[in-house]
Amino acid sequence: MKTLFSGVQPSGIPTIGNYLGAYKQFTELQHEYDSYFCIVDQHAITVPQDRLKLRENTKTLAAIYLASGLDPEKITLFVQSEVSAHAKAAWMLQSVTYIGELERMTQYKDKARKQSAKEGINAGLLTYPTLMAADILLYGASIVPVGDDQNQHLELTRTLAERFNNRYNDIFTVPEVKLPEVGGRIMSLNEPTKKMSKSDDNAKSYISLLDNPKTAAKKIRSAVTDSGSEIRFDKENKPGISNLLVIYSGLTGQSIKDLEAEYEGKSYGEFKTALGEVVESFLTDFQERVNEYVESGRIDDILDEGRERASRKADKMVEKMERAMGLGRKR
């Protein structure tokens, strides 16, 4: 069975964008692959975090992963900082990464701009993609389901895997990215030309998976729409309505074509009220499952077991990397 790897940062509560871009794919693919899912807390500290909040979010994120429909008996769910192989492999990979490659990453450029306005840019922000490459390569993952914004990081991961294989020893699987058919880039509700993000200062721009369902429906009803009145998918000219169509399609499985036909001649208001109801009922069910996991008291056991399984696999790869690079003594 081939291996799948993906990760989500505990830097806040995930949004409906994270759900449609990532979690939904995880659930669909979990049975086809030996699947590793990671709560990437070492990535999260590349921007300032409150330490207590970070720990709380780490546990909540585990419940959210599981509530999305992952089967804890089948998959491996773990916390990145609890598996020391990640930091070790990232360090080794830094030696095969060029600074220019890291400086070209658009996520780095965006975040660096924000950080430099306040303080210096920390080095972790720059080397973030080598840690991400380590995450993936340690498990020999052949597939990595993510949203569109991670595509560039995946390209770099592939480059680093090939470079290491050529320079040292052919030990890494070169992974393929898996983007969702619909929902790879969910946009902000009030600025639909910008990506929806859990770290946006304006809470009206995103729907958090733990938002009160009624408040979330209201956010949909007040989402920015476009000029005209037709409910039609046209990203260029109708970014607001197109984004809402994608969310509707992603949550219900109805195709965008069918939705356009269903809402032909109807107003934006009617469409948004209907989508508000879809979102409200989705969140109500989702949050019920999150609470069931939190109350079950099983999360720590699942993460403990995940740490053991992940460490066993990742430690073996670290040993291979060290051997290939000549680190330590002969074993």
Contact residues toward ligand TYM (CB under 6 A) are 5-9, 17-18, 20-22, 40, 43, 132, 135-136, 144, 146-147, 149-150, 153, 183-186, 195-196
Report the b/e string of 229-241 with b at 16+ CB within 10 A: eebbbeeeebbbb
Does residue 255 have a known ligand-binding role? no
In the residue annotation, 266 being an active-site residue is answered as no
Shortest approach of ligand TYM to residue 295 CB, angstroms? 25
Nearer of residues 39 and 302 to ligand TYM, judged by Cβ: 39
Cα 69 to Cα 6: distance, rounded to the nearest angstrom? 15
Among the listed residues 88, 195, 219, 272, the single catalytic one is: 195
The verdict on whether residue 186 carries a ligand-binding annotation is yes
Q: Tell how far CA 278 is from the center of its chain.
A: 23
Has 320 been labeled as part of a binding site? no
Question: Can you tell me the distance from the alpha carbon of 260 to that of 303, in angstroms, rounded to the nearest whole number?
Answer: 43
135 is in an annotated binding site: yes
State in angstroms the smallest separation of the CB of 134 from ligand TYM.
Answer: 9
What's the min distance (Å) between Cβ of 171 and ligand TYM? 18
**In terms of CB distance, is 229 or 252 closer to ligand TYM?**
252
Question: According to the annotation, is 107 in a ligand binding site?
Answer: no
- Of the two residues 138 and 323, which places its CB atom closer to ligand TYM in the complex? 138
Distance separating alpha carbons of residues 178 and 255, to the nearest angstrom = 20
Angle between helices 151-167 and 123-138 (to 10 degrees): 70
Closest approach, Cβ 46 to ligand TYM, in A, equals: 9
Helix or strand run (H / E) with residue 136:
helix 123-138
At its nearest, how many Å lie between ligand TYM and the CB of residue 99?
Answer: 19
**Annotated catalytic, 198?**
yes
Q: Count the Cβ atoms, other than its own, within 10 Å of residue 256.
A: 16
For ligand TYM, which is the closer residue by CB, 4 or 299? 4
CB 64 within 8 A of CB 33: no
Q: 152 among the known binding-site residues?
A: no
The answer to whether 111 is a known catalytic residue is yes
Has 257 been labeled as part of a binding site? Answer: no
Element (H, E) at 112: helix 106-118
The C-alpha atoms of residue 242 and residue 264 are separated, in whole angstroms, by 14
**How far is the C-alpha of 114 from the C-alpha of 134, rounded, in Å?**
26
- How many Cβ atoms sit within 10 Å of the Cβ of residue 220? 23
Least Å from the CB of residue 174 to ligand TYM: 14
- CA gap 171, 134 in Å, rounded: 13
| Closest to 64 measured CA to CA, from 102, 9, 139 | 9
Choose between 198 and 323: whose C-beta lies nearer to ligand TYM: 198
Kindly state the DSSP code that residue 225 receives in the 8-state scheme: -
Q: Which of 198, 218, 313, 320 is catalytic?
A: 198
CA nearest neighbour of 64 among 214, 243, 289: 289
Among residues 96 and 246, whose Cβ is nearest to ligand TYM?
246
Which residue has the closest beta carbon to ligand TYM?
A: 21
Given the residues 24, 88, 111, 272, the one annotated as active site:
111
What is the sign, positive or negative, of the torsion defined by CA atoms of 42, 47, 49, 54? negative
Does the annotation place 17 within a ligand binding site? yes
Catalytic residues: 111, 195, 198
Q: List the binding residues for L-tryptophan.
A: 135
Q: List the binding residues.
A: 9-11, 17-18, 135, 147-149, 186, 195-199
